[in-house]
Amino acid sequence: MIDKLDEIETRYMELQTQLQDPDIMKDRNRYKELMQELATVSEIVSEYHKYKAITEEIESSKELIEESADAEMKEMAREELKELQHKKDESLEELKLLLIPKDPLDLKNIIMEIRAGTGGEEAALFVADLYRMYSRYAENTKRKIEILSMHETGIGGFKEIIFSVTGKNVYADLRYESGVHRVQRVPDTESGGRIHTSAVTVAVLPEAEETDIVLKPEDLRFDVFRSSGPGGQSVNTTDSAVRVTYLPTGMVVTCQDEKSQHKNKAKALRVLRARLYEEEANKKHEERAKERRSQVGSGDRSERIRTYNFPQNRMTDHRINLTLYKLEYIMEGDLTEMIDALKISAREAFLKSTVT
């Protein structure tokens, strides 16, 4: 393992040199690739330097114990040695986790799709609540959100909302949100105070670059029509809404929120690329997906992953048996504890799968 860490440290220094090369700086794609690699190895190198510093301190403490004639000084050195050994063990465990091969998708931005399932209007309202929750989380973590498509119900809910989330390691943090989210609460329209159970589906798609998925013009059919809002109310009087059909599979994406037909077309193609990229990625990473399924679920949209119980102020993630009694904070975007728990569980599952 130390040999591997030494290799990574050498690669880190090579990357720093390469990134100062004017020719590489002119090549945007190559520069971006090297910057992403540098970001990946930097974390490992930083922890490795910490590990080596602790190791040196341990050797110094051992020498002090052997050479000092002062009994009190020796005792202090022994106590310090115990603490340093504990820190070394912790650093070693962290290095093991950092050396787990990174999924190249982790660095991707994402497109999230949230749709109302069972529960009628209450489900549509919860779609809006989840969108707000993810928006707050994005704001808290310095990410950006852009709505790509939405279908409102007229009373503040959404039948469907599709949006992008951009920033650092977005897919790595939100990849496990795919699945069925169940809500238990008393709807505002319920006069008898009875708790209703509704559900919505969430899909998290890594966003594809144009170079990741090449769309051939002959594989696409575009239809334009007039945008409409809740209840059929006209949004504008021009044919600005766009429906794109991917002819090889029949996949359809519709965008109508922009007044510009050109902008709606661009957004529809972003969503289409993301869906096609996800299909391709799932095929390539089927084996690793099986390993993840054993611990944190497949990301299948039909799999119930979480329950939000408002009367009990409780959120339960069923895949890792995590229950948090702070639902009001979670709905305000405080997702860090839950996301960290899911990532740790996935890491542990991977480490178990590599034990022979």
Q: What is the pLDDT of residues 260-270, one digit of tens each?
A: 888 899 999 99
Closest Cα to residue 61, out of 45, 89, 53?
53
Above 70 in pLDDT, residue 172?
Answer: yes
Q: Which residues contact 320 (CB under 8 A, 6 or more apart)?
A: 295, 296, 341, 342, 345
Q: Which residue has the higher pLDDT, 66 or 238?
A: 66
Measuring CA to CA, which residue among 259, 262, 255 is closest to residue 236?
259
Q: What is the edge-to-edge ordering of all strands in the sheet holding 220-225?
A: 220-225, 241-246, 251-255
For residues 268 and 255, is the Cβ–Cβ distance under 8 A?
Answer: yes
Tell me how far apart the alpha carbons of residues 356 and 348 are, in angstroms, rounded to a whole number: 15
| Average pLDDT, rounded, for the chain | 86
Judge: domain 106-207+285-354, CATH 3.30.70.1660: yes
CATH number of the domain at 217-282, please? 3.30.160.20
- 259 or 276, which is more confident? 276
200/118 Cα distance (integer angstroms): 7
- Looking at residue 238, its pLDDT comes to 65
Closest CA to 327 of 337, 342, 318, 319: 337
pLDDT single digits (tens) 16-26:
999 998 888 88
Q: What is the token pair recorded at 168?
A: 């650092």
Is the pTM for the entire model greater than 0.85?
A: no
Q: Where are the domains of the chain?
A: 2-98, 106-207+285-354, 217-282
